[in-house]
Amino acid sequence: MDALPEEDALGSLEERIRGVVDLVGTLRKERDAAVKERDSARKASAVAQEETQKLRAELEGLRGERKQVRSRIEKLLGQVDQLGGSH
């Protein structure tokens, strides 16, 4: 006893719908994972930018200190030269 053509068509349609439902579920999971990964990357980027700003500020501070130290050393060397030249 063969199945009626309508029953075959209905069964085929049901199979295709199940396949689409499975595919939609898989795509949703992949989308959710991608969104989480994107959000994580954005957070990491924000943290890295913040750290970069801190390091730049620290570097500028150190450059300023180095300039002050250099100036003080030059003054001290000038004073030492004056002491040596006055004898």
Reduce the secondary structure of the chain to three states and give it as a string: CCCCHHHHHHHHHHHHHHHHHHHHHHHHHHHHHHHHHHHHHHHHHHHHHHHHHHHHHHHHHHHHHHHHHHHHHHHHHHHHHHHHHCC
| Residues sharing a CB contact under 8 Å with residue 11, sequence separation 6 or more, in sequence order | 3
Q: Is residue 41 part of a domain?
A: yes
The pLDDT of residue 6 is 78
Task: Go through 27-39 and write b for each residue having 16 or more CB atoms within 10 A of its CB, e for each that does not.
Answer: eeeeeeeeeeeee
- Find the angle CA(56)-CA(59)-CA(60) to the nearest 5 degrees: 90
More confident residue, 4 or 37: 37
User: How many domains would you assign to the chain?
Assistant: 1
Entry pTM: 0.59
Domain containing residue 51: 17-87
Question: Is 46 within the bounds of a domain?
Answer: yes
3 in a structural domain: no
User: For residue range 10-49, what is the model confidence (pLDDT) as tens digits?
Assistant: 999 999 999 999 999 999 999 999 999 999 999 999 999 9
Q: Is residue 29 part of a domain?
A: yes
